């Protein structure tokens, strides 16, 4: 490390760094769980989909990007299937109907929403109080 930088204090670090594995799980649908990390203007959702899990068709006003971290998933956008695999990213505009259908093995994804999803923040608050 350069001498011009100093390590942040533990207090400052704790105010900015989140260990995702310690964030409580939030169930979104049968076989679909997430760990939600809210930001000021965006929301991260670290999703685990069990093999063959399927969400319901839905839309929301938030722009969404999905990064497939592990596995395969079909993302359905306005009736068309986009098969995604590890390392691929898809963008979904706000107010567009979409859905996800996991492949025959578990799938890990990172979903990024902007603006921040207040409904997800509420789900996280509820999960934290249940712990």
Within-domain flag for 116: yes
Domain of 92? 21-130
State both tokens at 114.
């902007």
| Region 33-59 average pLDDT | 97
Q: Read off the pLDDT of each residue in 4-11 and give the average, rounded to a whole number.
A: 94
For residue 1, what pLDDT band results from cuts at 50, 70 and 90?
low
CA-atom Rg of the chain in angstroms: 16
Considering the domain boundaries, does residue 31 fall inside one? yes
Residue with tokens 């839309």: 59
Distance from C-alpha of 130 to C-alpha of 17, rounded to nearest angstrom: 23
Model confidence at 3, pLDDT cuts 50, 70, 90, reads confident
Residue 43 domain-assigned (yes or no): yes
pLDDT at 130: 86
Q: Is residue 76 part of a domain?
A: yes
Three-state DSSP state, 73 = strand
Q: Is the dihedral of CA 12, 16, 19, 24 positive or negative?
A: positive
- Inside any domain, residue 5: no
> What's the pLDDT score for residue 13?
96
| pLDDT digits 0-9 by tens, 72-117 | 999 999 999 999 999 999 999 999 999 999 999 999 999 999 999 9
């Amino acid at each position: 490390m350069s001498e011009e930088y100093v390590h942040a204090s533990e207090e400052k670090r704790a105010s900015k760094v989140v260990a995702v594995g310690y964030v409580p799980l939030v169930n979104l649908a049968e076989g679909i769980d997430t760990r939600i990390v809210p930001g000021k203007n965006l929301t991260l959702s670290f999703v685990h989909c069990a093999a063959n899990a399927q969400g319901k068709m839905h839309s929301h006003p938030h722009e969404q990007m999905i990064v497939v971290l592990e596995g395969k998933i079909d993302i359905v956008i306005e009736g068309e299937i986009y098969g995604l695999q590890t390392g691929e990213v898809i963008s979904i505009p706000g107010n567009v109907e979409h859905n996800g259908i996991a492949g025959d093995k578990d799938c890990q994804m990172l979903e990024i929403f902007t603006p921040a999803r207040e409904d997800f923040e509420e789900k996280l608050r509820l999960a934290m109080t249940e712990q």
